[in-house]
A = this chain, B = another copy of it.
Amino acid sequence: MTDTATPIAAIDRRPLAAELTDRLRVLIIEGTLPPEAKLSEQALCARFAVSRTPLREALRSLAAEGLVVMRPGRGAAVAPLTLAELDELFPVIGVLEGLAGELAARNITDAGIARLRMLQAELVAQHRAGDLPGYLRTNAEIHAAIREAAGNATLSASIAHLDAKLRRARCLANLSPERWAEAVEEHALILDALAARDGARLAAVLRRHLANKGAALTRQFRARGVN
C-alpha cells in the first residue's frame, strides 16, 4: 500500500492578510516604517501588489497589537514611540518575565538548565567577540527558553505582545558598551537563580534586569532629545 498518511510538504495556503500582518510588523519593528509614518493604503497596496481588503485587515490586526494607530477618516499610521510609553512598558514586561522565571524555576528540567548553560556560554563568547547580532539572537533565545520552561502560553503571548514594542525601541536605539557588559553579568545571575531553582530570587533578578534595560534605553532616547 502506498503511503498517503505521511504529509510531504504541507502546502502553504496562508491568507494574504496574515502574511501582510507579519511583513508589516517586521517593517515597523525594524524601523523601516518609522514611528508616526502615515500608512497610505494605496501606497502599501502598490508595494505589496494586493488589494485594499486584505491590507486593511492586516492594519487592523496591527492596530490591535498597538503597533499601528487608526484615526477614523484619516487613515492608519505607525504608532508613535514616546518616552512616556517606554517608561510604562518596562515595569509591565518586568513582572511578566518575573512570573515566567518563577514558573520556570518550578518546572524546568535538568536538560533545560544544561541548555541554558550552553546558551549563556555562547552569550559570553559573543560579547567578548563583539558580535552584537549574534548576542541579540542568543539573548532572545535565552528569554524564550525561560518562557517556554514556564509552560504558560497565555503568559508567553502577553510578553510577545509587549516585546514587539520593546524590540522596536531597541532597533531604533543602540546598545552602549557599558550596558552590554552589565547585561551579560545580569544574565549570569539569572542562570544562577534558575539553576538553584529559586523562583523568588529569579523573579527579582529578571524584574531588575528589565528595569535596567528600560533605564538604559530611555536614557538614550532622552539624550538624543527624542520625544
Contact = CB atoms under 8 A, between A and B. Distances in A.
Given A91-B152, A96-B95, A14 B72 contact: yes
Dominant secondary structure of chain A at its interface with chain B: helix
A13 B88 CA distance: 31
Interface in A4-33: 13-15, 17-18
Contact of A18 (B18, B56, B66, B72): B72
Given A57-B57, A92-B96, A95-B98, 13 more contacts: A13-B72, A18-B72, A53-B53, A56-B57, A60-B60, A60-B61, A61-B61, A64-B65, A66-B157, A92-B152, A96-B96, A154-B162, A158-B161
Interface of A: 13-15, 17-18, 53, 56-57, 60-61, 63-66, 72-73, 85, 88-89, 91-92, 95-96, 98-99, 103, 152-155, 157-158, 161-162
